[in-house]
Amino acid sequence: MRPDILNPLFSPLQSLPGIGPKLAVALSKLLKGGDGKLPAHVSDLLFHLPSGLIDRRNRPLIMDAPDGSLATLELRVDRHEEPPRGNFKVPYKVFGHDESGEIGLVWFRGQARWLRDKLPEGETRIVSGRVEWFNGRPNMVHPDHVVSPENIDELPLVEPVYPLTAGVSLKVMGKAVDATLSKLPDLPEWAEPSVLAKHEWPAMAEALDRIHHPQDELDLSVHGKAWHRLAYDELLAGQLALALVRSRMKRSAGIAWVGDGRLQKVVRKTFPYPLTGAQERSVGEILADMAQPERMLRMLQGDVGSGKTIVALLACCAAIEAGGQAAIMAPTEILARQHLATITPLAEAAGIRIAILTGREKGKTREAILERLADGSIDLLVGTHALFQGPVEFKNLALGIVDEQHRFGVHQRLALAAKGAGADILVMTATPIPRTLVLTFFGDMDVSKLDEKPAHRLPIQTNALPMERLDQLIQRTVDAVAKGDKIYWLCPLVEDNDELPVTSAQARYDSLRALMGDNVGLVHGRMKPTEKDAAMADFKEGRTRVLVATTVIEVGVDVPDATIMVIEHAERFGLAQLHQLRGRVGRGDKSSSCLLLYKAPLGEVSTARLKIMRESEDGFRIAEEDLKLRGEGEILGTRQSGTPGFQIAQMEHHGDILELARDDARLVIATDPELESERGKALRVLLYLFSKDEAVRLLRAG
């Protein structure tokens, strides 16, 4: 149960004065995203922080106010100039002066009666707004505030500026936030006093008040003490929730899965390359975890082409040697079938019985797979999320492997783990993730890193070309195909879009096919799975030599003799995505190249992005740079996928606070695992405040 002290903050928005049903929907859209059907609570306004401020403390004379400046002027009202009746194109003007000169106050569709009441001729008024000079005369269009000298207190001298949406004005937002702050209860202090003292952080209530009622830019700075305090609270809630998930997984009985090495020996012998030091280290860490009587929860982070699949297969061998079964879960059917194709020759050599289960396996075929899985005559199952849905029963699942972890949530991971009594879990990602984000989103896991490329992987030559050189590039492509090369040609869109000035995959396919005929194939996300597989097979087998594609080929597709990657409108892709796409080439024994076509002129971020791509093939360095350029939500795809991003903390600025929160959370779980001490009870309030209810339920579930 949520602590009673928080009830005022979890009441609906309509409990605030002045917020009706229509405004509540508009605010919910802004605070929760989507169509507003997911209702926001009062607490969501608490953490909807300002993005800037309006400072009305500048009080110049009229003639001293620069063009475009925000100014608060004291003037005497001289005369009103009403527009001709019914002519809405002519504005309503009020003229006033001070000792330096005259200014025109302008309202379009101004209401005469209201304006005469507000600005009586012959009276002194204080007006605040943006001064604009036109033909040597100052004007103020739609002043923000008009008050009499006696009511100067009504003029907000410093106003926070909030992110807004249609139907929500700054005035409405300010009132709603003030009403929310008035509902803030006297919360218990969950931070260690020594931490607060060391960093000179204010109490949470004071930090909120300082940010929502800023007096200067420092109050609103992400590096200021108030913002740091709130970032710490948010990160501590996240780290504590992850630590509780980890603690629960570790407490649930595991099984020591110890293999005898016979299958691993055959697979190693059949595999054509020696393992790198990083691969050997990772295999050692995984096997050591599996040999423990606690459940393994480990992440294998590998750069593009670092050889995760062989590490995963050796872990599966250990599970099967120990009498269990293994499962590899991939996010797409293309990737699942790619894994199957890569693993099958090695598995068959070792006598491992392997099968695939995706949405495509239906009827009697599916029933036969499920029967063999239940009676133990399948050792290794590869598939999509179909693996943990419905009636899929393993005889004895020892190891569940989740590939491309960031596309699945904690729930899918736990659902797969639930398919086996003591199943260990290994998650893999081919997207190198900066260390701070690993701690943030996957802090419940131990991490193994494949930070070396296998010796047989050749470097990829990367160059950037402006779109003006497209014709030359197309001619080079025709020549390369004549020599027998294979080329990927990436486009950002499936079909032409009038609003975006980029060439689509369909249009590029048509233009290249006109030159090279049947040598050109096409694959994109709107095609049926069978069509995609056929197009990939044609390219792999050499029936086509150029594959025009969208980012559907980003993950997992393996064509070793493809040597050229063209990425059209490279400025539209993120760094991590460009790196992933580049990793589709350079997989064979020939030197490869990647050509980044861009539309000039480039912005600052795009220029930096392409420069890093030319300089480095190190995915971990690229990931750190990407974090600086884009922020954590874009990197993990959380803007699209709904992974819990942050309202307050920004990883590119608050990495050091994350380390502090992580250490604190681990100490709490070690000393007070049920959160029963005074501080523990305060931390329960923190978890509920940041909507980590699931974590509190884990406490009760034991």
The domain that holds 98 is classified in CATH as 2.40.50.140
Q: Are strands 424-429 and 297-302 parallel, antiparallel or unpaired?
A: parallel
**423 falls within a domain:** yes
| CATH code (residue 382) | 3.40.50.300
**625 falls within a domain:** no
Residues 267 and 372 in one domain: yes
Residues 562 and 610 in one domain: yes
**139 falls within a domain:** yes
Residues 242 and 267 in one domain: no
Q: Rounded CA gap, 444 and 441, in Å? A: 8
Domain edge (last residue) among 133, 155, 177: 155
Distance of CA 285 to the CA centre of its chain: 29
**Confidence at residue 311, expressed as pLDDT on a 0 to 100 scale:** 96
Residues 439 and 353 in one domain: yes
Rounded to 10 degrees, what is the CA torsion of 386, 392, 393, 397?
A: 0
Left, alpha or beta for 221 (phi > 0: left; psi -120 to 50: alpha)?
beta
Positions in the chain short of pLDDT 50 = 556, 632-644, 701-702
Domain edge (last residue) among 395, 427, 450: 450
DSSP 41: B
Residues 667 and 542 in one domain: no
Closest by Cα among 657, 232, 618, 665 to 436: 657
Residues 406 and 446 in one domain: yes
Residues 232 and 172 in one domain: no
Residues 99 and 172 in one domain: no
Model confidence pLDDT, tens digit, residues 583-606: 888 887 788 999 999 988 888 888
Element (H, E) at 505: helix 505-516
**Confidence at residue 553, expressed as pLDDT on a 0 to 100 scale:** 67
Q: Rounded CA gap, 6 and 186, in Å? A: 10
Q: Provide the 10 A C-beta neighbour count for residue 167.
A: 13
Q: Are strands 70-81 and 92-98 parallel, antiparallel or unpaired?
A: antiparallel
**Confidence at residue 642, expressed as pLDDT on a 0 to 100 scale:** 33
Helices and strands, number each (H, E), in the chain: 25, 21
Rounded to a whole number of angstroms, the distance between the first and last alpha carbons of the chain is: 16
Left, alpha or beta for 287 (phi > 0: left; psi -120 to 50: alpha)?
alpha
Q: Rounded CA gap, 29 and 93, in Å? A: 37
Tell me which residue has tokens 């003030």. Answer: 178
DSSP string, 576-612: HHHHHHHTTSS-SSS-EEEEEEEPSSP-HHHHHHHHH
How many domains does the chain fold into? 5
26 close to 166: Cβ distance less than 8 angstroms:
yes
Tokens for 558? 């393996």
- E strands, 49-192, are 52-55, 70-81, 92-98, 101-107, 124-134, 137-141, 145-147, 158-161
Residues 233 and 273 in one domain: no
The residue range of the domain holding 348 is 262-450
| Model confidence pTM above 0.85 | no
Distance of CA 669 to the CA centre of its chain: 28
Domain edge (last residue) among 581, 616, 651: 616
**563 falls within a domain:** yes
Q: Are strands 137-141 and 101-107 parallel, antiparallel or unpaired?
A: parallel
632 close to 639: Cβ distance less than 8 angstroms:
no
**257 falls within a domain:** no
**Confidence at residue 181, expressed as pLDDT on a 0 to 100 scale:** 94
**471 falls within a domain:** yes
**Confidence at residue 445, expressed as pLDDT on a 0 to 100 scale:** 76
**163 falls within a domain:** no
Tokens for 391? 């009636």
Residues 480 and 575 in one domain: yes
Residues 607 and 503 in one domain: yes
Work out the angle at residue 460's Cα, subtended by the Cα atoms of residues 459 and 465, and round it to the nearest 5 degrees: 150
Residues 585 and 685 in one domain: no
Tokens for 411? 């729930």
Q: Rounded CA gap, 331 and 336, in Å? A: 8
Q: Are strands 145-147 and 397-403 parallel, antiparallel or unpaired?
A: unpaired
Tokens for 123? 């009276």
Tokens for 486? 């294979």
Q: 603 to each of 569, 595, 597, 600, 652, how far by Cα in Å?
A: 13, 19, 15, 9, 20
358 close to 414: Cβ distance less than 8 angstroms:
no
Tokens for 8? 């005022």
**648 falls within a domain:** no
**Confidence at residue 224, expressed as pLDDT on a 0 to 100 scale:** 93
